[in-house]
Structure 1
Amino acid sequence: MGTPHDDLFRAIFSRPEHAQALLAGFLPPDIAGAIEWNTLRLVPGTFLDEAAREQQVDLLFSVRIGGRTVLLYVLLEHKSSVDRWAALQLIGYVVQIWRRWRREHGKEDLPEVIPIVIHHGPRPWRGPTSIDELVEQTGLSPSARRRLARFRPRFRFLLVDLSRLAEAEIAARVPAPATRLVLYVMRVRLDAGFDDAKAALSRWRELMVVVGLRRPGRRFETVLWSYFFHKSKVTAD
């Protein structure tokens, strides 16, 4: 049985229009501009074990850049504290993705994988975003560090820290109204009560009207507002 985080993230961002709006808004502009967005496809499956699914949700997408397949691995983190070892965990998921690719595509070269972490915990992300930051280098001379670095995996993930983003910045990055509303709802503090929820709904009034006029569908509305009331600890009554 999925968590509210899982239900919201999968229900919304499994849809190509919302996935594209999210990814195009936060990928580096040179990469987003090179993607052939009409090739965006959701790749079925998850790479998380049972324990990880309590605090994470993942989606894998396939796109084409310059005629070649590139995979976009999106991991939603909803832990109460920042995981210092996230980069190590992510590189393990990327290896799983490549192993599955080998099984399905035989001797074809491995595709590029861009790992993206979306963090919406109660505190800003202050942990490492690369393997480099996890490797002990204390006491090494600069020359020794350079020599040893040749054998260290070059791995970094793209961090989208919703807790650091104001609604105005999200609006600038994600103009699509429905996707933007989802990201606003994901930012609601876990300890928000009635007053906070009421203020948020007041801020979003015009946006909700726009989204409603576009009729995103009952499934969209159900998972979005169920999640909002769950997170804000306010009953629908």
Structure 2
Amino acid sequence: MPGPHDLFARYTFGHPERAAAELRAVLPAHVVSEVDWASLRREPGSVVDPELRETESDLLFTARLRTGHPLLLYVLLEHQSTVDRWMALRMLRYVVRQVERWRQEHPESELLPIIIPLVMYHGPEGAWTAPHRVEALFDLPGREEEKARWRALVPRFEYLLDDLTAEREEALRGRPGPPLARLAWLVLCYGRTEALARKLPDWTALFAQVQADAEGAEHLVVVIRYLLWIGDEAVHAAARRVLHSVLGGQRTEELMRSYGEQLIERGLQQGLAKGREEGLTRGRAEDVLRILTARGVQVDEAARQRILSCTDLATLDRWFDRALNATRLSDVLDDIAQ
């Protein structure tokens, strides 16, 4: 079930005009000048990777350069609270899957389109510190000059990063783009911090600009619903004051009451769904351990806890399949020494 960060980010940046604002803010200037932005289109069914988790979602756009060359723009929206050291490897895998799909759809082509991968990060625990290049993940021997020679031989890949947590508030507010995009950058950046309630009143003018857009009423509802979902009582109170300034008292109370009731109902539904999912993953983890025991494979306490604490059903299914023929623990868990 999609979470609030996923729904809000995809609603905002799934629209080509607002996606263009995000891409223009991050892409090199020479790329921005060469893209025909009027050709930017979101690809339907962009979420094609089965390994995407609750902490992330993706958007795929197509565009053309002014010369007519095709261009793929792959945007990963990263919602997790901790920095993932292996992001470069994961992005490489995601990008390969995108171009493989493109090859299936264009079997006559002898060349691949340019594809530019971008990660937008808004975790609450500080700036992004993971390597941007996959070659930085390899254990290279020797001193630095020797490492450089080895580095030239390993696969090379780099993703762009829009780390909202590293931007100053003034910079995010000053980015070119539609009002909803600018408000979304701010809300995503501060949405899981204690500063949100204090900063919301400072953005009242931006809320008013969102409301003034052609689809402003819908946009404002989406923002408020997100704030009610992620925020505490202080955030709710600050959002109410902002809305009161923009919409007036009666409309504000109607919105707050309506979406407050919806969020309570949705919370109950998500709680039930989460309970069912936790039951499935726990059962599959126990199945993996039972199979390993039956096959006489020794499982130490650290590995046992790792299996039991895994919440990704796809990973557990993979371990389950491997356990059926395993003769040692390393046959199941990739990073266990043989």
Q: TM-score, normalised by structure 1?
A: 0.90
Q: 2:116 aligns with which of 114, 117, 131?
A: 114
Paired residue for 2:130, among 124, 127, 130? 127
Whole-Å separation in 1 of the counterparts to 2:141 and 2:225 = 48
Tell me the equivalent position of 1:170.
172
Deviation at 1:191, TM superposition (A): 4.4
Shift of 1:146: 4.0
2:2 maps to what in 1? 2
Aligned identity (percent) is: 35
Change (3 A) 1:160 1:97: same
Deviation at 1:147, TM superposition (A): 3.7
Where structure 1 has 5 or more consecutive residues not aligned to the other structure, the ranges are none
Indicate yes or no: 2:77 matched with 1:76. yes
Please provide the CA RMSD for this pair: 1.9
Measure the CA separation in 1 of the matches of 2:225 and 2:115: 33
Give the distance between the partners of 2:137 and 2:165, measured in 1 at CA.
23
Q: Does residue 211 in structure 1 map to residue 214 in structure 2?
A: no
Structure-2 change in CA distance of 1:219 and 1:6 (3 Å)? farther
Higher relative contact order (CA 8 A, sep 6+): 1
Which structure is larger by alpha-carbon Rg, 1 or 2?
2
Code of the residue aligned with 2:20 in structure 1: it is: Q
Once residues 201 and 6 of structure 2 are traced to their aligned partners in structure 1, the CA distance between those partners, rounded to angstroms, is 26
SS of 2:60 mapped into structure 1: strand
Deviation at 1:75, TM superposition (A): 0.4
Q: Which residue of 2 aligns with 1:159?
A: 161
Paired residue type of 1:99 = E
Gap regions ≥5 residues in structure 2: 237-255, 258-338
Aligned match for 1:139, one of 133, 139, 142: 142
Report the secondary structure of 1:204's partner residue.
Answer: helix
| 1:110-130 Cα deviation digits (max 9, x unpaired) | 111111000100121111111
Q: Distance between the aligned counterparts of 1:154 and 1:189, measured in 2?
A: 34
* Superposed displacement of residue 151, structure 1: 2.7
* Counterparts of 1:121 and 1:201, CA distance in 2: 18
TM-score (norm 2): 0.64
Partners in 1 of 2:15 and 2:193 — Cα distance? 29
Q: Deviations over 1:33-85 (max 9, x none)?
A: 110001101012213325x3300010011111121111111001111110000
Stretch of structure 1 that moved more, 63-72 or 132-141:
132-141
Which of the pair is proportionally richer in strand?
1
Superposition deviation, residue 175 in structure 1: 4.2
Distance 1:16 1:76 in 2: 15
Structure-1 separation of matches of 2:178 and 2:41:
19
Which residue in 2 is equivalent to 1:183?
185
Shift of 1:141: 6.0
Is residue 85–residue 130 contact of structure 2 (8 Å, CA) maintained in 1? yes
Q: Give the partner amino acid of 2:174.
A: A
Q: Deviations for 1:111-168, whole angstroms, at most 9, x for unmatched residues?
A: 11111000100121111111121111242562x4344333322211111110111121
SS in 2 for 1:72: strand
Q: 1 or 2, which has the higher helix percentage?
A: 2
Q: Give 2:104's aligned residue.
A: 103
Distance 1:163 1:141 in 2: 31
SS of the equivalent of 1:54 reads coil
Name the counterpart of 2:28.
28
How many residues in Structure 1 have an aligned counterpart in Structure 2?
A: 232
CA contact (8 A) 2:88 2:159 kept: yes
Q: Is the 8 A contact 2:42 2:61 kept in 1?
A: yes
